[in-house]
Amino acid sequence: MYKRFRIIIPAIQLLAIAGLFGLRSALKGSVSYEVLRGLHVLVHQVNYPVWTIFAAMVVRTAQLLRPLPRWLYIPTWLYAVLAFAVAALLALGIALLWYLLITEVEMRRHGKSMLRFSRRWKELLAVAILLLFGAGAFIKAYNIGSPVIHGRISYIRLFPVAARWDEVVGMLILMAWGVLLTGVAIHDLIAILRGKPLGVGNANSL
15-73 pLDDT tens trace: 887 877 777 666 665 555 556 666 767 788 899 999 888 888 776 666 666 665 565 66
Q: What is the pTM of this model?
A: 0.77
| Backbone Cα Rg of the chain | 21
Burial 157-196 (b: 16+ CB within 10 A, else e): eeeeeebeebbebbbebbbebbeebbebbebbbebbeeeb
**What is residue 196's predicted lDDT score, i.e. its pLDDT?**
77
pLDDT at 206: 36
pLDDT surpasses 60 at 86: yes
Q: What is the pLDDT of residues 175-206, one digit of tens each?
A: 999 999 999 999 999 988 887 767 665 444 33
186 vs 151 pLDDT, higher one: 186
What's phi and psi for 43, nearest 5 deg? -60, -40
* Per-residue pLDDT at 137: 94
Short-list 177, 88, 96, 164, CA closest to 135 = 177
**Between residues 167 and 160, which one has the greater pLDDT?**
167
**pLDDT value, residue 157:** 45
Distance of CA 61 to the CA centre of its chain: 20
Over residues 138-167, the mean pLDDT reads 65
**How far, rounded to the nearest angstrom, does the alpha carbon of residue 116 sit from its chain's CA centroid?**
22
Question: What are the pLDDT digits (tens) for 88-144?
Answer: 888 899 999 999 999 999 888 888 888 888 888 899 999 999 999 999 999 999 888
Q: DSSP label at 116?
A: -
The per-residue pLDDT for 185 is 94
Counts of helices then strands in the chain (DSSP H, E): 7, 0
